Amino acid sequence: MPKFAANLTMLYNELGFLERFDAASAGGFRGVEFLFPYAFPATEIRARLERNRLALVLHNLPAGNWEAGERGIACHPDRVGEFQDGVGKAIEYAKALQVPQLNCLAGVAPKGVPRDSAESTFVTNLAFAAGKLKAEGLRLLIEPINTYDIPGFFLSGTKQALDIIDATGSDNVFVQYDIYHMQRMEGELANTIRKNLSRIGHLQLADNPGRNEPGTGEINYPYLFRTIDALGYDGWIGCEYKPATTTAAGLSWIDPWR
């Protein structure tokens, strides 16, 4: 059966960040993920995880100034030093929080920079990060994101992600396949997952349109869950959706899959 992790950046967001761990546990989740841990001491987050017997399944590398609208810096040629420093910081948190994998957000393509230069920077940064993470027993993920929600996002398709992974020459870079983002960009969800499962390190979900919980839109989640289960995927599926009302009120979709 699928294993679902609550994305604490988006779920239970009526609560403070640290209170969301308690709520996720009370809601029946055994795993959690979130964008960034860096605003809090790792010891505080670790205490919440341990108190609630929760596994942390994913967080991201530092991604620039999020509050100012940045969505990653990995494809920015003028910020390689900042990116490399962020890899070190992420590893420190990952080891303290016992998370097995980290996601790298490519970022919005920088204005005035040729696309091949941005791609070369992204590949070089990924190769650097993949090596550093592998030495610590961690996996690196990259996530294609739709360009409707984030216009100009550099990495926006499955094939593009796989080609970039190949260009790194590393065996430690995998796709974070977000079903919502790829429904908007590509469709062909089940076939894409089936074809590329060995290269997918993590799955995330939300329905479309609206990015709300499964069952509110056009995606046939019962079919996808059965397909993913039949394929033998044993990783987590991150629930990265915007609750249509409150998180607790919208959790009935998960009951058949507990």
Residues marked as catalytic? 143, 240
- 101 forms beta bridges with 139
- State the DSSP H helix or E strand holding residue 173, giving kind and residue range, or none if neither: strand 173-178
Q: Quick one: tokens of 223?
A: 């079919």
CA distances from 88 to 36, 70, 124, 165, 234 (A): 14, 20, 16, 21, 29
The secondary structure of residue 62, as a DSSP letter, is P
CA distances from 142 to 65, 104, 122, 159 (A): 19, 5, 10, 12
CB atoms within 10 A of CB 36: 16
What's the CA gap between 173 and 199, in Å, rounded? 8
